[in-house]
Each structure stands twice: as structure tokens, then as C-alpha cells.
Amino acid sequence: MRRTDELNLAHLKAAVDEAAHASLSGAGLDLRVLPSDDRAASDAWAQSVARGFLDRERSDEQSAHSFESAGSRRRLGVYDPSGPMPEVPVGTFASWIGDLSVPGDAEVTACAISAVTVAQTHHRRGIARAMMQGELNTAATLGVPVATLTVSESTLYGRYGFAPAAAAANWRIDRRRAGWLGPLPSGRFDYISRERWAALAPALHERVRRHAPGELSMPASHWTRFARTHPGAHEPGAVRAVQYTDDAGTVTGLVLYTVQENHDDYTKSGAQVQWLVADGPDAYAALWHFLLHLDLVGELRAGELSVDEPLWWLIADQRAAQVSVTDHHYVRVLDVPAALEARRYQAADVIDLTVTDPLGHAQGRWVLDVDESGQGSVHPLTGDSPQGAVRVGLGVQELSAAYLGGVSLATLAYAGRIETNDAFAAARVFAWPVPPRLSYWY
Ligand SMILES: CC(C)(COP(=O)(O)OP(=O)(O)OC[C@H]1O[C@@H](n2cnc3c(N)ncnc32)[C@H](O)[C@@H]1OP(=O)(O)O)[C@@H](O)C(=O)NCCC(=O)NCCS
């Protein structure tokens, strides 16, 4: 069995963290892992998550779907027995064990976290902190090297050691002004059903994501969410699905998009790319060519793109695009040797690395020895620095921010966030030519 699958089973079965349980018990609250076969508990949990994210009440159909697709995730609920609805959790938390792509076409096992909510009625009593610290303990105890999440607010998770490690670029393109410098597509395009899109997308994404640091394997239920094929999906008919087949007859690209009509002037309608996945430059250029030639569309929008998107070099007029960048995929290193040995490096060197971590998981001093092939080995270090080693002292947030190559250690040194005797040597080691990205939210 794969290491990730083994860890996933152990993670689903793990008991709640004792310290987290004790701290919430002290406040009269009960922290529990939801049994996967308890439909009523699952429905109540899903209602709490919906409320926490400003959504409407879940319909029976949606609740049934949540229950059926919940098996792959570990779900926690915090219950207040003194309230009028003691069966409805006042705190929720979900996580699963996935594979995070890291520099060098490699991957590391990650604990991906989502559905963190606390009812407004129970805010600011330490419920989120207890759940997060407890679940980080659980993941670290199981031997999961990193934790990841996407955020509703950027200020929430630094206190637990998370840092923005892969940024997202959000584009608005004046379609008519953009022009085109790229190759003309030679394959064929076909509209397909959303069901077919959801059937084809997982395998294509799995192939592509290995070359893109920051991408994460997705639970099956997420695909139906994107394709809006799950019961009770919001405006499912608004999504159009297209496949691109290359000259060899292989489907190498898929896109989902929505359109917004402009009734005052039809030619100024808008289109929003929901998800684009392309295996290779031919499919990539072809799909963007297709999108930039949608009739009646004035502005094309796309989010969660890379900060170094090849699209920039496919259009003739770069000022046709307005690009804004936001923090997106957050990473938290839990096990320094395992995390650092999982990725590859750009330059051979020896780094004397001291990491501070208020929660303790990543605290310590190591030597990172990178060989000519870019493989690093990590060993505990006490005493003197190895001869000629580059010294780097940093917090777990800074290490996590630089882990995928999304920020240069020289930039962090200039920002006063790390200490080093040679920022550029350290930066050369950790740099990576492909900036990290994550093409979705979770
Ligand atoms: C964000 C949320 C989960 C916090 O829950 P909570 O139980 O009130 O948080 P805690 O009491 O455990 O507070 C933990 C820390 O976070 C801080 N914090 C809580 N909410 C915050 C916010 N909205 N912005 C900034 N800091 C916040 C607290 O001040 C506290 O800081 P400290 O421990 O360093 O002093 C809750 O506000 C919520 O459910 N919001 C809506 C859903 C959401 O945005 N979830 C996050 C998904 S990414």
C-alpha cells in the first residue's frame, strides 16, 4: 500500500488529540471525531459548515451527497451540551491526507485542512486554536511532513506556523485587444457534458500536477463540485465544458467556463474560466486560443493561475491583461528532514539550518547537504557548522513560505525575515524555475 494511503487510513482512525480535548472540556465543550456512518451527525456538521461560510441551509439532497462523499475526510465537531441544539456542532474541522507536488516532479504527503468554522455564538473562546493545534499534533504524530490549507482571511493561520507558499494570479483580459502570438491549434475542440468532464479531469489533473509544485491531489468529491454535477449544485447549467483532442487523438486539455450575458450590449458579455487543465504546451495554447476567440465576449476572467503564466507570452498586447496576485496555498512544515528530503534543489551546497517553531514541530538545527543532482539529505546538527556551510536561521513560517520555491530566501533576508551569512547562496539552493501554484480552492 502507498505511504499516503496508509497514512490516510491511520489518520481517519486516529483519536482526538488529548490536549485539545482537555482544553475544550474545561470550557464545557466536547470535541469529537465524527463516525463516518452517522448520517444525522454528518447532516448537522454539514449545516454548521454551510453557516460558517455564509452559505444557505443544506437541502436534504445536498446533505445526502455530503454524507456519501465524506468517507475520505476526517471530520471533527465541537459540541456544546448546554445549548438548545446540542447535536449541531459549534466548531467544525476537516482534513485528509493527500500528495502535495514539490520542486523536482516530486511529492510529499500532506495533511490538507478545510471546513474550519466556529459558530458566531462561540467565537473567540479558543475553539479554532484547540482544533488546529490538536490536529497538527495528530498529523505530526502520524509522521505527516507538512500541512496545507487555503484561507478565507490571510491573517488567521500564521500563528500556527502556516505561510503563503504558492500565490495565485487572477486575470481580467480585454479579449479583443489581447491579440495572439502563439501557435494556432491543430487539434479539435468539442463541447462535452459536465459528467464527461468530471470523468476525464481527475486523471488529466493527476498527470499535470506532478510538474507543478503546490498542486495537491484532490478528493473525488471536489470534481463534481467543479463540474456542478453533484445534487443541489448552484446553477449547474451555467457551466460549459470543452475538451481538446490533439493530432494523435488524445484528449490533452479540458476547460470549464461560465458566461455572463450583457443585455445592454451583447458584444460586451463576459466569460469566466472555472478550471483549465492542459497536458503540455500544445493543449495549453489551444485552450487559451479557444477562450480568447469566444464570440460576444468582451472580458475574459480567470483565477488561481500561476504568477508566471505562459499566457502572458501568448498574447500580443500584454496591457490587455490586468493581473492581480494574492496569497493562496498555505503550507506548514511539520517534519523538517522529511519535508526537505522530499523536494529537489537548484544548486549543490551545504546549509546549516536553524528553525524556530513556537509549536515545537519543526524546531531544531540540521545540516541540509545538497548534491550535484539536486537531492538533499538532512541530518541533525549540534556544535560547529560544517566547513564552508551557509548558515540560515529562520522561523517555521519562513521555511514554509520558501519550501515550494515561491519566494527567494534572498527576498526574505532583505525583508528581515531570516538570518544568514550568505543570502544569495541560500537562495540559489532553494530556488526553483517553476513557480508554485494551486489551481483550485479547498
Ligand atoms: C476564523 C474562525 C474559525 C476563528 O474561530 P475562533 O474559535 O473564534 O478562533 P479562536 O478563538 O480559537 O482564536 C484563535 C486565534 O485567532 C484569532 N482570530 C480569530 N478570528 C480571527 C479573524 N477573523 N481575524 C484575525 N484573527 C482571528 C484570535 O484572535 C486568536 O488569536 P491568538 O490565539 O493568537 O490570540 C471563525 O471566526 C470562523 O468560523 N469564521 C468564519 C469561517 C472562516 O473564515 N473560517 C476559516 C476558513 S479558512
Say if residue 263 is in the same domain as residue 355.
no
**Any domain includes 436:** no
Q: Which atom of ligand 1 is nearest to the CA of 132?
A: 12
Say if residue 266 is in the same domain as residue 322.
yes
Across-strand partners of 77?
A: 32, 92
| pLDDT value for 233 | 86
Query: What confidence tens digit (pLDDT) does each residue in 89-135 have?
Result: 999 999 999 999 999 999 999 999 999 999 999 999 999 999 999 99
How many Å is the Cα radius of gyration of the chain?
23
Query: What confidence tens digit (pLDDT) does each residue in 364-386 have?
Result: 999 999 999 999 999 999 999 99
Is the C-beta atom of 118 inside 6 A of ligand 1?
yes
**Taking a C-beta distance cutoff of 8 angstroms, is the pair 189, 243 a contact?**
yes
Indicate the pairing of strand 91-102 with strand 390-395: unpaired
* Strand ranges across the sheet with 364-370: 376-380, 364-370, 349-356, 390-395, 418-420
| pLDDT value for 219 | 80
Q: pLDDT over 90 for what percent of the chain?
A: 90
Taking residues 45-59, report their average pLDDT.
95
**8 CA distance to ligand 1 middle (Å):** 27
Say if residue 146 is in the same domain as residue 260.
no
210 vs 322: which has the higher pLDDT: 322
Q: What sign results for the dihedral spanned by CA atoms 144, 435, 356, 341?
A: positive
Say if residue 265 is in the same domain as residue 191.
yes
**Any domain includes 109:** yes
Query: What confidence tens digit (pLDDT) does each residue in 8-44 have?
Result: 999 999 999 999 999 999 999 999 999 999 999 999 9
Written as nine digits, the cell of 428 is: 540559489
Taking residues 222-239, report their average pLDDT.
89
**Any domain includes 144:** yes
Is the C-beta atom of 51 inside 6 A of ligand 1?
no
Residue 144 reports pLDDT greater than 80: yes
**Closest C-alpha residue for ligand 1 atom 21:** 156
CATH number at residue 116: 3.40.630.30
**Taking a C-beta distance cutoff of 8 angstroms, is the pair 365, 380 a contact?**
yes
Q: 282 pLDDT band (50/70/90 cuts)?
A: very high
| pLDDT value for 270 | 96
Q: 305 pLDDT band (50/70/90 cuts)?
A: very high
Q: Which of 102, 128, 161 is the last residue of a domain?
A: 161
**Pocket residue to mutate for ligand 1, from 123, 133, 152, 329, most atoms within 8 A of Cβ:** 123
Written as nine digits, the cell of 363 is: 524546531
- Full residue range of the structural domain in which residue 74 is found: 3-161
| pLDDT value for 422 | 98
Say if residue 399 is in the same domain as residue 354.
yes
| pLDDT value for 356 | 98
Q: Which atom of ligand 1 is nearest to the CA of 159?
A: 34
**Mean pLDDT across the chain, nearest whole number?**
96
Q: Which of 329, 357, 377 is the last residue of a domain?
A: 329
| pLDDT value for 3 | 81
Is the C-beta atom of 127 inside 6 A of ligand 1?
yes
Q: 231 pLDDT band (50/70/90 cuts)?
A: confident
Say if residue 102 is in the same domain as residue 239.
no
Q: Which atom of ligand 1 is nearest to the CA of 157?
A: 16
Q: 2 pLDDT band (50/70/90 cuts)?
A: confident
CATH number at residue 374: 3.30.1050.10
Taking residues 335-360, report their average pLDDT.
98
Q: Which of 111, 127, 161 is the last residue of a domain?
A: 161
Taking residues 199-213, report their average pLDDT.
95
**Binding-site residues:** 116-118, 124-129, 152-153
Taking residues 376-401, report their average pLDDT.
97
| pLDDT value for 66 | 87
Can you say how many angstroms the Cα of residue 385 is from the centroid of all Cα atoms in its chain?
Answer: 36
Say if residue 126 is in the same domain as residue 20.
yes
Q: 234 pLDDT band (50/70/90 cuts)?
A: confident
Task: Report the domain count for the chain.
Answer: 3
Written as nine digits, the cell of 226 is: 467543479
**128 CA distance to ligand 1 middle (Å):** 6
3-state secondary structure string, 338-371? Answer: HHHHHCECCCCEEEEEEEECCCCCCCEEEEEEEC
**Taking a C-beta distance cutoff of 8 angstroms, is the pair 111, 11 a contact?**
yes
**Any domain includes 435:** no
Taking residues 392-396, report their average pLDDT.
98
Say if residue 20 is in the same domain as residue 119.
yes
**Any domain includes 439:** no
Say if residue 325 is in the same domain as residue 339.
no
| pLDDT value for 4 | 85
**What values do phi and psi take at 22, rounded to 5?**
-65, -40
**Any domain includes 40:** yes
Residue 365 to residues 199, 355, 383, 409, 429, Cα–Cα distance (Å): 46, 6, 10, 17, 18
Q: 45 pLDDT band (50/70/90 cuts)?
A: very high
**120 CA distance to ligand 1 middle (Å):** 10
**Any domain includes 229:** yes
Is the C-beta atom of 132 inside 6 A of ligand 1?
no
Is the C-beta atom of 125 inside 6 A of ligand 1?
yes
**Pocket residue to mutate for ligand 1, from 93, 129, 149, 359, most atoms within 8 A of Cβ:** 129
3-state secondary structure string, the chain? Answer: CCHHHHHHHHHHHCCCCHHHHHHHHCCCCEEEECCCCCHHHHHHHHHHHHHHCCCCCCCHHHHHHHHHHHHHCEEEEEECCCCCCCCCCCEEEEEEEEEEEECCCEEEEEEEEEEEEECHHHCCCCHHHHHHHHHHHHHHHHCCCEEEEECCCCCCCHHHCCEEEEEEEEEEEEHHHHCCCCCCCCCEEEEECHHHHHHHHHHHHHHHHCCCCCCECCCHHHHHHHHCCCCCCCCHHHEEEEEEECCCCCEEEEEEEEEECCCCCHHHEEEEEEEEEECCHHHHHHHHHHHCCCCCEEEEEEEEECCCCHHHHCCCCHHHEEEEEEEEEEEEECCHHHHHHHCECCCCEEEEEEEECCCCCCCEEEEEEECCCCEEEEEECCCCCCCCCEEEEEEHHHHHHHCCCCCCHHHHHHCCCEEECCHHHHHHHHCCCCCCCCCCCC
Say if residue 197 is in the same domain as residue 294.
yes
Residue 98 to residues 110, 115, 206, Cα–Cα distance (Å): 5, 16, 12
The answer to whether 157 is a known catalytic residue is yes
Taking residues 177-205, report their average pLDDT.
97
**26 CA distance to ligand 1 middle (Å):** 19
| pLDDT value for 416 | 98
**Any domain includes 95:** yes
Q: 166 pLDDT band (50/70/90 cuts)?
A: very high
Is the C-beta atom of 319 inside 6 A of ligand 1?
no
- Catalytic pick among 79, 244, 330, 442: 442
Largest CA distance in the chain: 73
Residue 1 reports pLDDT greater than 80: no
Say if residue 191 is in the same domain as residue 293.
yes
Taking residues 241-258, report their average pLDDT.
98
Say if residue 221 is in the same domain as residue 277.
yes
